[in-house]
Amino acid sequence: LRHLKLLMQGISSALSLHDRDVAKIHREASVVLSAVLAAFRETFRQLKAGGPPTTQPFAKRGQAESDMQLILFILGCFGSIGYFPREYHALVGEVVEWGHDFIVGLPTRDLSSWLNQCATLRLKPVRLMHGSVRVIQQRLDEGDMQLTDLVYILYALAILNYSKSPPPPAYHGAIQPADFLSACVRHIADRWSELDTPSLYPMMTLLMWTLLVLDLYPEALFARFYGIDWPAEIEKARQIGEPLGQQTVAQLYWCFVAYVAGRGREATMETSLTADVLQQWGRELRQDTKPLKSSFQWEVAKTLDRLALPHTYEYRTKEGVLIDIALTSPSQGSVEDHKVELPVALEVDGPLHFLTVLDDSDAAAAADHESHPDVLRLEQDGSTLFKHRLLQQLGWQVVSVSFADWEGLKTPHEREMWLRSKIPEHVKQSAAVFAD
Give the pLDDT mean for 137-156. Answer: 92
Nearest 5°: the CA angle 139, 143, 149 is 65
User: Within 13 A of 310's CA, how many CA atoms are on the CB side?
Assistant: 16
**What pLDDT, in 10s, does the model give residues 179-229?**
999 999 999 999 999 998 888 999 999 999 999 999 999 989 988 998 888
Backbone angles phi, psi at 18, to 5 degrees: -100, 165
What pLDDT does residue 418 have?
A: 92
- The strand pairing partners of 150, in sequence order, are none
Quickly list H helices, 100-200. 108-120, 126-141, 147-159, 177-190
More confident residue, 312 or 398: 398
pLDDT at residue 249 is higher than 90: no
Are 111 and 153 in contact, with CB atoms under 8 Å apart?
yes
Give the pLDDT mean for 271-284. Answer: 69
**What pLDDT, in 10s, does the model give residues 300-318?**
989 988 888 888 888 888 8
Q: Is 345 helix (H, G, I), strand (E, B) or coil?
A: strand
Are 252 and 237 in contact, with CB atoms under 8 Å apart?
no
CA–CA dist 138, 258 (Å, integer): 32
Min mean pLDDT across 43-57, 303-317, 394-408 is at 43-57
